[in-house]
A and B are shown apart, each in its own frame.
Chain A
Amino acid sequence: MAVCVNVFHKCLRLPSTLLKLRPVVHKLNATQITRTFCSTNALAARKYTEQHEWIDVQGKIGTVGVTDYAQGALGDVVFAQLPEPDSELNQMDDCGALESVKAASELYSPVSGTVVEKNKDVEETPALINQSPYEQGWLFKIQLSKPEELDALLDEAGYENHLKNTGH
């Protein structure tokens, strides 16, 4: 699908790995193409917490990770303690931790539900969180029990504002 200008502007604020796609975006407007990272649907689905987790919901399953800001503030992640599949979480429960520079930082679940999968690649190679926080560095997938909780989370503009206003 073609990528609209609004989405292109949104792409400018995405992490550097995705910015490499910028030259591609101009061509997309003229050609029919399958969904890319910059597709409107993916960005609209992503919500954020003030603790710098993101969640991308497709149907009833949300994929959770930490933002580019978070991975920068942590430093090189050496260990990811992820919630086990089948564990039940409430919104904002601490559900794991990421370790970097001998500091363990807690992870919070953006929504209530049941964990369906944790990212074994990230357990094996925690650096994926730094290299690709929105793609290969996803942390766990959760089946939402209360989808209305998403309304309380920040959208991308809200998260950007949060970063600005809270002195990040």
Chain B
Amino acid sequence: MKISVVSQNFHRSVNVWSVGFLKYQTAYHIQQYLANLQSQRLNKEKTLDGTIIIVEHSPVYTTGIRTQGYSESEERRLKTLGAEFYRTNRGGLITFHGPGQLVVYPILDLKSFNKSMKWYICKLEKTVIEVCKSFGVEAERSSDTGVWVKDNKICAIGVHGSRYITTHGIALNINNDLSWFSHIVPCGIPDKGVTTLSQELRKPLTITDVIYPFLQSFSHEFECDMKMLSHEVRKDVVNHLKKENLTSDITEAQLLRNNDLKLK
């Protein structure tokens, strides 16, 4: 898949890795590996100021650190629907990820940007708002974190920060099946709904349509250039996944395939 990104010679650069369709747990291990690599700051040419992971998940419900409100029976109930269930270390309450939803995990070193979680979240929200605007959808922030089209959430946000290295990120609804959300109170907000870009535009959009506009907006909001994550680092990640028995030959090929990244 070709990704062309405008390079504006910002003094910061991030890697981009579009991993395709992956299970939540596999993507989580990739996040952790890259976050550890980033925190070591040993090889800045490889890690740059961060890596953006772009992924699409099979159906999964996840909770954040405020997980006590979701009992084991609740977990079992959601699993019987055919989804996985994970309790994570991010902020935010329960949400759903699934096919047709653009999930992005920026593994950033905030020391290169701005060392404030409040700032980071705001920039993520602005990035998504800009993306929606580019498609003609008026989205906005609210007192509840996330990006909203009136009373419907179009993008959920939940992140984790450790020594200024960020993990987890955002989930922007493109053309995913919203009925999965009817089984939970999304993000713990009972009187609001959810929506997708396709629903707002009344025309089908896919993740592929949105990746490039997303990267453009991110580059603009975070003032950073982008380049494709090197084959060397991707190979290291794949080897790490192999040791954890988290990859198959198919997944390995998927993770190592070359996505053309052209800098204009």
Contact = CB atoms under 8 A, between A and B. Distances in A.
Interface of A: 51, 72-75, 78-79, 81, 94, 97, 99-106, 166-168
B233 interface: no
Given A73-B118, A99-B65, A101-B121, A106 B163 contact: yes
B146 interface: yes
Contact of B118 (A97, A100, A168): A100
B89 interface: yes
A102 B160 contact: no
Nearest to B122: A101
B8 interface: no
Nearest to A105: B161
Given A73-B115, A73-B116, A99-B91, A106 B162 contact: yes
25 contacts: A73-B115, A73-B116, A73-B117, A73-B118, A74-B116, A79-B91, A81-B65, A97-B89, A97-B160, A100-B117, A101-B117, A102-B91, A102-B121, A102-B158, A102-B187, A103-B90, A103-B120, A104-B89, A104-B91, A105-B117, A105-B161, A105-B162, A106-B160, A106-B163, A166-B111
A22 B54 CA distance: 53
A71 to B, nearest CB: 10
Nearest to A79: B66
Given A73-B118, A75-B118, A102 B157 contact: yes
B163 A51 contact: yes
B83 to A, nearest CB: 21
B53 interface: no
A34 B105 CA distance: 53
Contact of A102 (B111, B115, B145, B163): B145
B161 A102 contact: no
Contact of A101 (B64, B89, B118): B118
A35 B119 CA distance: 38
B165 to A, nearest CB: 10
B213 interface: no
B186 interface: no
B167 to A, nearest CB: 10
Most buried by A among B116, B117, B162: B117
A78 B64 CA distance: 12
A51 B158 CA distance: 21
A102 B159 contact: yes
Contacts of A94: 162
Given A102-B91, A104-B89, A104-B91, A75 B163 contact: no
B31 to A, nearest CB: 14
